[in-house]
């Protein structure tokens, strides 16, 4: 049996941001696995089996995909944005690493997608034009103390920060705590952007400063971007960018 498993990033929301390679890989799948709302974004043919799941239990979903692949199916695992950024690709590889020996030789590949930070960056102008980092504020998979430590060091290092999983109903106050840490390290006029549901109909962008940043502007569809000392708005335009160089 010649099963295969393709892990596919379907971009941040709009159909136009799904790459042709992603479409091609989806079209030839017999089984499509993913979080229900992500599956709703793609066309699934009548000949394809749809396996919708909730957003937790990612490793279990990975194991399910690998078992189907081993049985000879052509499986597509779908993630939003890029599947390798805080998403399913690592869960599948973790399942391979901890699973039966036979899973190591399965035909597995990954198709890149447009991650939320890239869509947000394009929307704003070019805020990621110089050194930056991406941090997930979720403490589901790591201790909150580690998130705080990384925020502090990233601020000290002068990185622009793309903060994923910025806020959710289960974690309503963590973003406020993160802003407090950043306020102790960075100037109060540091730019803070709340970019919500970028490339979807309900898209919203709010630009603030660290002094005024209000965590209630964020929900689970929001990426929060923290500017560096060089990040600026161009007067008279709607653009925000980070120059490619830092003065000596």
Binding site for ligand SAH (CB under 6 A): 12-13, 79-82, 85-87, 115-116, 120, 164-166, 195-200, 220-223
Smallest gap from residue 217 Cβ to ligand SAH (A): 12
Rounded Cα distance between 9 and 88, Å, is 9
Cβ proximity to ligand SAH: between 206 and 229 the closer is 206
Cβ proximity to ligand SAH: between 77 and 166 the closer is 166
In contact, 131 and 160? CB cutoff 8 Å: yes
User: CB under 8 Å to 176, separation ≥6 — which residues?
Assistant: 215
**Neighbour order of strands in the sheet with 232-233:** 125-126, 240-241, 232-233
Cβ proximity to ligand SAH: between 210 and 223 the closer is 223
Smallest gap from residue 28 Cβ to ligand SAH (A): 22
Q: Cα separations (Å) of 43 from 10, 23, 27, 47?
A: 12, 9, 9, 12
CB atoms closer than 10 angstroms to residue 42: 18
Cβ proximity to ligand SAH: between 66 and 83 the closer is 83
**Size of the chain in residues:** 248
Cβ proximity to ligand SAH: between 57 and 189 the closer is 57
Smallest gap from residue 86 Cβ to ligand SAH (A): 4
Smallest gap from residue 186 Cβ to ligand SAH (A): 20
Q: Which residue is nearest to ligand SAH (CB)?
A: 81
């Amino acid at each position: 049996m010649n099963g295969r498993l393709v892990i596919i990033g379907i971009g941040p929301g709009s159909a136009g941001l799904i790459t042709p390679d992603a479409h091609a890989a989806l079209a030839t799948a017999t089984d499509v696995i993913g979080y229900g709302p992500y599956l709703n974004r793609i066309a699934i043919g009548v000949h394809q089996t749809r396996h919708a799941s909730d957003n937790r239990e990612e490793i279990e979903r990975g194991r399910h995909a690998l078992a189907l692949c081993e049985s000879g199916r052509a499986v597509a695992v779908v993630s939003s944005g890029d599947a390798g950024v805080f998403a399913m690709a690592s869960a599948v590889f973790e399942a391979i690493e901890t699973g039966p020996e036979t899973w190591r030789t399965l035909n597995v590949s990954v198709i890149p997608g447009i991650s939320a930070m890239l869509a947000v960056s394009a929307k704003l102008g070019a805020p990621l034009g110089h050194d930056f980092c991406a941090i997930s504020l979720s403490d589901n998979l790591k201790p909150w103390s580690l998130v705080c430590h990384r925020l502090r060091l990233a601020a000290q290092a002068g990185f622009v920060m793309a903060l994923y999983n910025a806020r959710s109903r289960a974690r309503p106050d963590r973003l406020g705590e993160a802003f407090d840490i950043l306020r102790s390290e960075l100037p109060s006029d540091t730019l803070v952007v709340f970019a919500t549901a970028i490339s979807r109909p309900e898209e919203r962008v709010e630009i603030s400063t660290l002094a005024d940043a209000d965590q209630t502007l964020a929900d689970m569809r929001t990426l929060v971007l923290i500017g560096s000392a060089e990040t600026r708005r161009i007067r008279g335009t709607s653009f925000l960018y980070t120059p490619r160089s830092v003065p000596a």
